[in-house]
Every structure is written in C-alpha cells, then in structure tokens.
Amino acid sequence: MAPIFQQGSEWNLLAALFIGIAFGFVLERAGFSTSRKLAGVFYGYDFTVLKVFFTAAFTAAMGLLYLNYFGVFNYELVWMPTTYVVPTLVGGAIMGVGFIMGGFCPGTSMCGIATGKIDALAFVGGIAIGVFFYGVSYEWLWEDFRLTTNIGKKTMSEVLGISPGIAVLIFIIFGLFVFWLVDKVKKEYNIKDVEY
C-alpha cells in the first residue's frame, strides 16, 4: 500500500532525489527552462505550458484514481491540502502577476538555473526575498488572514456532489476542450511564433 517509503526515512529522501531528477528532466525536455516559452501562454504564441500542465494533471488524477480502485493507494495516507478559499485565491492572484513579470514559476526557475539562465537565478533570489518579507510581516499581515474561509480537505467530487470518477472525467473533457480552443485561437487570430 502506498506510500511505499516512510516519511522522513532515508529511502524516502533518496526517492525524492530521483523523483526530482525525473521532474527536472521532463520540465527541461518540454522547454520549461526558457521564460519566453513560458510567457507565450499568456500572449498566445506558445501554449505548451497549458498543454503539458493540464495533461500532467489529469494523467496523474486518473492514475491515482485507478491505483485507488486497485486498492494500493489511499488518499487518506498522502498529502492532501486543506482548502482556504480566499487566501488561496489571493495567493494565486499574487503569483499570477509574479508569473507574467518574472516569466517563471518556482519549479521552472529551478530548471532555468540548471540550463544556465541568469534571469532564473534572479527569479529564485526574488522568491527568497518574497518569503523573507512574508515571514517578517507574517504576524501583522498574513497570520489571521491565511486561516480564513477554511472549508476543510475538500475534493472537487465532494463539493460538486458527484463520484470521483465522474469528476476526473469532467476534468479530462474540460482539458481536451481547452487544448482544442487554444489551437483554434492561435490559428484564428494568426498569432505568429516567436523566435527564442
């Protein structure tokens, strides 16, 4: 039964390293070490991010669901975030602006550093400054706010009142629709590729 390795064990840390290597390898393969490709998703000249991101999300969602059906995976035993509606939305909005200004998100910036992008290094320096600022201002800005609108460890199927399988199916159909839509948008508006 998953998880295979005990939390905090040395085997688990070794697994973390190898999982990270696979993660970094795939991100770089997909072209996520370049900020200009990543930013393309917001200007319509390159929708790679959206395609990789959503394909990964519903592949994983479907895979974990199947492992659960097979009885080797239990959602209760793994990481599952508690949903704090408003802080999550505000945090996401702040990150969205950070994404368009910096051209990276934290994971992809690590990948950018790996391939020698100095701007990625600057971005990670920025993250450290941001985390520091958050910590210093924690007690008077964030501490109370971050705990508001707690709805618990909710999944989409629970909130929508449908079975987990149907929820994943809807997610996949939605994803496929988005893929079709973005390709159509790029074609329809004749958005040119950008050289990088």
Partner 1 sequence: MEDKSKKFMNPYLAGVLLGFVIIAAFFFSGEGLGGSGAVKDAVRTTVAKIAPSYAENNNYFKSAVDSEHSPIKTWLVFEVLGVLIGGVISGAFAGRLKLMIEHSPKISSKKRIIFAVLGGILFGIGSQLGRGCTSGAGLSGMAVMSVSGFLVVAAIFGTGYLAAWFFRKLWI
Near partner 1 in 73-102, by CB under 8 A: 73, 75, 77-85, 87-102
Number of residues that bind partner 1 (CB under 8 A): 135
Question: Residues 122-161 vs partner 1: string with x where CB under 8 A?
Answer: xxxxxxxxxxxxxxx-xx--xx-xx----x-xxxxx-x--
Decide if residue 48 touches partner 1 (CB under 8 A): yes
| Closer to partner 1 by Cβ: residue 51 or 186 | 51
- Cα–Cα dist 160/180, whole Å: 25
Residue closer to partner 1 (CB basis): 95 or 173: 95
- Per CB under 8 A, does 69 bind partner 1? no
Residue 109 CB burial class (10 angstroms; 0-12, 13-18, ≥19): buried
Using the rule CB under 8 A, is 116 a contact of partner 1? Answer: yes
CB of 177 to partner 1, least distance (A): 15
Contacts for 40 with CB less than 8 Å, ≥ 6 apart: 46, 47, 48, 49, 194
Please give the structure tokens belonging to residue 157.
Answer: 């199927």
* Interface with partner 1, residue 166, by CB under 8 A: no
Secondary structure class of 127 (helix, strand, coil): helix
Other residues' Cβ atoms within 10 Å of the Cβ of residue 37: 19
Q: CB nearer to partner 1: give 53 or 69.
A: 53
**Measured in Å, how far apart are the chain's first and last C-alpha atoms?**
45
- In one letter, which amino acid is 53? F
The single-letter DSSP state of residue 145 is G
Work out the widest C-alpha separation in the chain, in whole angstroms: 53
Among 3, 69, 180, 181, binds partner 1 (CB under 8 A): 3
The site string for partner 1 over 173-192 (x = CB under 8 A, - otherwise) reads: --------------------
Q: Applying CB under 8 A, does 169 fall inside the site for partner 1?
A: no
Smallest separation (angstroms) from partner 1 to the CB of 69? 14
Nearest to 119 by CA among 36, 25, 29, 183: 36
Considering the complex, state which of residue 43 and residue 177 has its C-beta at the smaller distance from partner 1.
43
